[in-house]
Amino acid sequence: MSDLAIGKQASEFRKGLQAGISIGVGYFPIALTFGLLAKGSGLSLYETLLMSLLVFAGAAQYISLSLLSFGTGIFEIILTTFIVNIRHFLMSASLNEKVEEDRLLYKIFYSFGITDETFSVAATKEGTVTTGFMFGVILVSYSSWVVNSGLGHLIGASLPQTLQDSMGVALYAMFIGLLVPSMRKNIKVVMLAILAAAFNSIFTLEKLMAPGWAIVSATLLSAIIVESVVMLAKKRGHFNEE
């Protein structure tokens, strides 16, 4: 029995590794550029690697570099990081409903690796998300992020401009690739995505709020509105039946 369970976890881990490949590819140009910019901002190779190892959050790491170059104090940089990354709270709360019941210690461990990308891959997976799957997705993503940050610092140059430009679309294309199959099956998914895209565009482009809050507000607003509409429609249907 336990052999069977171990075998299952191993194949789930492999599935996770496979599902993480697009993230690994997508992180490549971004991490490379991060390493390059970190070098330009005066961070040593070790500091660059340490940041990618311990923080593992692309947008916040980029912002910290530009704040450093403005001479911003570290307290303000840490506060900004917190605000930019608070969206992960919502993602973890959502994922918590979908992952298999397992030891809390494992969840506390793999929650370190929840990024926009690993969350998107796990949350759009069919059925329950196993612990093995989470570890697989995160291992590929994390390795790509850390190794390529170091590589960017070491070689001190980025990819040829055209390649750099076209690879910049990779993570967005991945998000589209994860979203579309669910959109085809479910009108609710279409409503959620379009509504959140519209809210986030308004909040960001009109500079109504910082990007971190914009994503959180757009996501929550759309999730609540759509859920309320669905609930009301269900109630109506129920009343009609009676």
Partner 1 sequence: MKNEILWMILGMSIVTYIPRMLPFVLFKGKELPSFLQGILKNVPFATLGALIFPGILLIQKDIWYGLIGAVAAFIAAFLGANVIVTVLGSIAVLALYSSIL
Residues 81-110 that bind partner 1 (CB under 8 A): 81-82, 85-97, 104, 107-108
Interacting residues with partner 1 between 176 and 215 (CB under 8 A): 176-182, 184, 188-189, 192-201, 204-205, 214-215
- Asked if 69 touches partner 1 (CB under 8 A), the answer is no
Interacting residues with partner 1 between 116 and 155 (CB under 8 A): 116, 119-120, 123-124
- Asked if 162 touches partner 1 (CB under 8 A), the answer is yes
SS3 state at 210: coil
Among 6, 10, 74, 208, binds partner 1 (CB under 8 A): 74
Smaller CB separation from partner 1, 6 or 79: 79
CB of 149 to partner 1, least distance (A): 12
Smaller CB separation from partner 1, 1 or 104: 104
Contact 76, 68 (CB under 8 A): no
SS3 state at 5: helix
DSSP secondary structure, 80-120, as one string: HHHHHHTHHHHHHHHHHTTBPP--HHHHHHHGGG--HHHHH
Smaller CB separation from partner 1, 1 or 207: 207
Residue 58's closest CA among 143, 124, 116, 17?
116
Tell me how far apart the alpha carbons of residues 89 and 137 are, in angstroms, rounded to a whole number.
19
Token pair 């029995």 in the structure block, residue: 1
SS3 state at 31: helix
Count of chain residues binding partner 1 (CB under 8 A): 96
CB of 176 to partner 1, least distance (A): 4
Tell me how far apart the alpha carbons of residues 98 and 122 are, in angstroms, rounded to a whole number.
9
Among 8, 10, 143, 165, binds partner 1 (CB under 8 A): 165
CB of 3 to partner 1, least distance (A): 28
Tell me how far apart the alpha carbons of residues 130 and 135 are, in angstroms, rounded to a whole number.
9
